[in-house]
Amino acid sequence: MKTFLKVLVTVLFFSSLTVLNAEDGYRLWLRYDLIDNPAVLTQYRKAITGYMAAGNSQTIEAAKNELQMSLSGLLGSQIPVVSTVKKGTVIAGTPENSPIISSLKLNDKLGRLGNEGYLITNSKYKGKKIIVITANTDIGVLYGTFHFLRLLQMNQGITDLSISSSPGTKVRILNHWDMLPIPGRKSAGNTIWKWDELPGRLDSRYTDYARANASIGINATVLTNVNADARLLTPEYMEKVAALADVFRPYGIKMYLAAKVTAPIEIGKLQTADPLDKDVIAWWKKAADDLYNYIPDFGGFVVKANSEGQPGPLDYNRTHADGANLLADAVGPHGGIIMWRAFVYDNKVPDDRIKQPYNEFIPFNGKFRKNVILQVKNGPLDFQPREPFHPLFGAMPDTPLMPEFQIMQEYFGFTTHLVFLAPVYEECLKSDTYSKGEGSLVARIVDGTISDYSLTGMAGVSNIGADRNWTGHIFGQSNWYAFGRLAWDPYISSAEIADEWVRMTFSNKEEILKPISRFMVESREIAVNYMTPLGLHHIMAAATHYGPGPWVDKDPRDPREDWTSLYYHRADENGIGFNRTSTGSNAVSQYYPPVRDMFNNIETCPENLLLWFHHVSWDYKMRSGRTLWDELCYRYNDGVNKIREVQQVWDNLKPVLDAERYENVRERLIKQVRDARIWKDGCIVYFQTFSRRPLPPGVEAPEHDLEWYKTHRYTDIPGMF
């Protein structure tokens, strides 16, 4: 009870802060300001006269407090809590806790919505028109409450409601790539987790974090980097994690941890971490038991193993299935799950790095425990601006797979560039794998429609940090929002998500809504064009991943060839691109025949992936009628011109936007336009040393020579590693 009192205090604290400093971005999309459309406001004031929330759980209290804050703020007057139903009452609760809702006989509809789904409907009780938000569970009621409030924020009609919604995936999880503090230091970098203060002091941001996640249906979190720290399994840190779990629980958010395979050695003093060793098995069982003593609803572990130097079962001549099943057996009796990441590549450089995950996991289809789900990146390489969908989707019908998307813009300009990532997620989810014939979309595999997975999920690598506005760039918030909405509904479109976010974050006014939502949806393609058009990939600067580096022939962190740009673009005097066809690395063979055949044929391969799959002559005739060289130059040029147009649109919006958020974006757009020009110029100058062809008419000439771009260093970029 004490913990939830802290929750209530922080909710009220959050509300008071928004009055003092309403437009610094802290409120995210949960802005409950007075509706500025008089007609809509009048309609809502007539339709909503009071509210009640049935039940006494902490989750119902959270829903009640959200209704209190939002209705009073949006409608501009105190909306009372009522004890008896009158016309215009909003009633939230389950049939079990509310005799009123029970009398409406909605059980048939609710029966199809599971444990987290909800129903929002207009109804009548004793002749009085009311609005009902109901579900089978309290968390469903909270999700439904947030959906209803979203309707109000978006100025939607509420007199003919008949909404039923349930999540498309069961585990909708944020992966924070944050580090624990270095021993002897308090700081752990740009993280919202104040480890030195836990468990004694609970920062108010933790509650607001939980509210924001619950509002978009995110129901799980991993606090730290997948390059795991074994200290998380010590009593000191388990106590800290348990304190956070207490804050998150009323909002339906389960706690997960990143597990390090060698923890039995590092903190258990064992001589081995062999997953088949009896002492190792016993150690993990006890570690799991201890965790569940601290956190009874602990969710489980996410594991990165045998990748990028992280230890794993292969170090002991065991398999990924052996490693995952060891942990699955430890958490299974408590209801826990294991998310085993399929992002792997060998210490030896292969003929084509992208083939390894498929080759390494396919032999073990059906050999993982039922509480194991493989966490697979959306593409086969590493969160590049554009990749084809991962060939593992559809290829393991007896092993649940969950996509891992990056919300953090590691290859998209970090917190500097405005890039709305929903199109990246949507492109993957709506890709047709043909695993069971036409229509076998990744989304239908992920949600269990096709493969009938009992365990489903979606993971997002978080971009949340210690910035007052949470994500550094105001528009970074939209990617957090987009991930949550697609994890709940994998079929919603990027345009719909952008429309929602702009309405809730900025305004419902058309002069603001239309231009912002339009350039948001276009921003991903703009960035691809000025960075890596036509299927180019992994040509960024070494180490920082910020800015161009097609000339990188050695990464300072590792001499391996597949950490260089040359390995991927393979430019020479004859052409450019990685031949992954049947005459090259044959990576196309990992896809089902219709997809394989499409990618394998240069005439049918989508042009936006052409250089991913083919080494193409500089003079190859593109569908536009241009040569490949000219098309490449025009794409780079178009990316620069388009981001300049976005900058101009934003500048024109200054009179109708609040100063602080306007300036946050304006400053970053100035850098983004500069960076786009550097990307274009540096890449064109470099690739021109191979093509030996002039710039086509209309392409802006580079400002500097190649040596300038090779030696240029950025000193003003926030949000980098």
Catalytic residues: 308, 382, 410
Q: In this structure, is the dihedral angle defined by the CA atoms of residues 382, 383, 389 and 392, taken in order, positive or negative?
A: positive
Taking residue 201's Cβ as centre, other Cβ atoms within 10 Å add up to 10
Residue 409 vs residues 518, 618, 718, 719: alpha-carbon distances, Å? 20, 31, 12, 9
Residue that has been written with the tokens 């100025």 in this structure: 155
Residue 257 vs residues 133, 302, 322, 372, 373: alpha-carbon distances, Å? 33, 6, 19, 15, 15
The 8-class DSSP code of residue 656 comes to: G
Beta-carbon contacts of 498 under 8 Å, excluding residues fewer than 6 positions away, are 420, 422, 478, 516, 517, 520, 521
Q: Angle at Cα 260 formed by Cα 256 and Cα 262, nearest 5°?
A: 150
In the sheet with 128-135, reading across from the earlier edge strand, the strands are 50-53, 89-93, 128-135, 118-125, 162-165
Q: Residues 391, 426: contact at Cβ < 8 Å?
A: no
Residue that has been written with the tokens 């990576």 in this structure: 587
Taking residue 388's Cβ as centre, other Cβ atoms within 10 Å add up to 26
Q: Round the CA-based radius of gyration of the chain to a whole number and report it.
A: 26
CA 460 centroid distance within chain: 3
Q: Angle at Cα 636 formed by Cα 634 and Cα 638, nearest 5°?
A: 65
Residue among 406, 536, 414, 399 at smallest CA distance from 462:
406
Q: Residues 405, 427: contact at Cβ < 8 Å?
A: no
Q: Are strands 50-53 and 118-125 parallel, antiparallel or unpaired?
A: unpaired
Residue 550 preceded by cis peptide, ω within 30: no
**Element spanning 405, H or E:** strand 401-406
Residue among 591, 588, 567 at smallest CA distance from 578:
567
Q: Residues 381, 432: contact at Cβ < 8 Å?
A: no
The 8-class DSSP code of residue 67 comes to: H
Cβ neighbourhood burial of 271 (10 Å; 0-12, 13-18, 19+)? exposed
Longest dimension (CA), the chain: 82
Residue 337 CA to residue 329 CA, distance in Å, equals 9
